[in-house]
Amino acid sequence: MIRLLTLGVVLTLLGGCASHGADPAVRDAAGGELAIDQNICTRVAQEPDRKQSKNEKLADLRAALGAGYLQEGALDIALRELDESLKLNPRSATAHATMALLQLRLSKPELAGEHYRRALALSPSDPEIRNNYGVYLCGLDRAKEADAQFRCAIANPLYRTPALAYTNAAECALRNGNTTRAETDLLTAVQLDPTFVTPSLMLADMKFQAGDARAAREHLARYVRRAGQTPAGLALGIRVETALGDLDRAASYRLLLKDRFPDSREARELN
């Protein structure tokens, strides 16, 4: 889930501007991330009024093309475009951050880390990059460091999707057995953005796994009101209603899953 949430913000990254200067929070030589200065997290970058050079404009264009090809899965073309972007402007935080996402898709986590750290050195207050770097760190089982990045993203007053960072933080907490923290973050995400459906589905699954099928049903109902019927929602609904003893409803969900989503992983697992 975290991987999907990260890749969904590629184009959002392209809307940001790179600022200059080193980030004192990005220190990896000692083997880990140190505490992040909250003044960095809450800083609202003020870009000086200056005319972009021809190379900078071309670099932005190539970075945008690279991000588009990355989303389409054309990784070889995305790599070529991002390489050209960084040749034109090595100080583009956007290009470095997008290159990091690409390197992860190419199964090169070390290179991804290098590009993330470079991006943050250039634009330390960018919440999109902080969120994505948190996802990266969580994937390396560096949960505490990842959480610090998510909290840094959330602290930025201009961050447009804090519910996303809260959800990623919850997913990372769940991976490490901290269900209390995960539930708190998911409830916060739901409150911040009721239209973002992922937290409700995660809460429903959490409650079901904890043995509270009735609470799971409530969270699942909120998810369905926003998302409609989906394979994941129907599959969980079958388990929830079976646990609650409503076998008729469970059977109807089973039929819906098979009829509407016959090729889904969830439908195949019913057989």
CB-CB contact of 79 with 111 (8 Å): no
Tens of pLDDT, residues 19-34: 333 343 444 433 455 5
Tens of pLDDT, residues 220-230: 999 999 999 99
Domain 197-271 belongs to what architecture? Alpha Horseshoe (1.25)
Tens of pLDDT, residues 185-206: 999 999 999 999 999 999 999 9
CB-CB contact of 96 with 115 (8 Å): yes
- Whether 118 shows a pLDDT value over 50: the answer reads yes
pLDDT at 50: 72
Those residues whose C-beta lies under 8 Å from the C-beta of residue 174, and which sit 6 or more positions away, are 182, 202, 206
13/126 Cα distance (integer angstroms): 9
**Does domain 1-44+52-185 sit in CATH 3.40.50.11030?**
no
- Whether 235 shows a pLDDT value over 50: the answer reads yes
User: Where does CATH 1.25.40.10 sit in the chain?
Assistant: 1-44+52-185
Closest to 163 measured CA to CA, from 186, 137, 136: 186
- pLDDT level of residue 268 (50, 70, 90 thresholds): very high
146/140 Cα distance (integer angstroms): 9
- pLDDT level of residue 87 (50, 70, 90 thresholds): very high
195/197 Cα distance (integer angstroms): 6
